[in-house]
Amino acid sequence: MKGASILHGKDTEFAEALAIQALGHLAQDKEVLERFLSVTGLAPEKIREAAASPGFLAGVLDYMMQNEALLLTFSVNNNIDAEAIMAAHRQLSGPISQ
């Protein structure tokens, strides 16, 4: 996925898939997942339901981007440019309103 560093308006499916992959990465480490759940206030049994929401998926990527070590580990382990993760976050977050 190295070449997927720039997303276009029609790439929401790619952004969602990347965010779901990031959620899977969070779930691989019990402590990391517990911190994520604590920050979001989400109960473990509600993760699948929440994952259907693009806003939640944007939140997963936002959480990951707030922790550089976590972001870099996910990026390196999955051969994904960190810039692609940021672009996916922008795609799922939508336009910034002022």
C-alpha to C-alpha distance for 48 and 18, rounded to whole angstroms: 15
Model confidence pTM above 0.75: yes
Which tokens go with 8? 């276009």
pLDDT greater than 50 at residue 1: no
DSSP string spanning 57-69?
HHHHHHHHHT-HH
Domain boundaries, the chain: 12-92
Q: For residues 6-16, give the mean pLDDT.
A: 71
pLDDT (tens digit per residue) in 13-57? 899 999 999 999 999 999 999 999 999 999 989 988 888 876 899
C-alpha to C-alpha distance for 2 and 81, rounded to whole angstroms: 5
C-alpha to C-alpha distance for 22 and 26, rounded to whole angstroms: 6
**Within 10 A of 16 (CB to CB), how many other CB atoms are there?**
18
- Cβ atoms of 87 and 9 closer than 8 Å: no
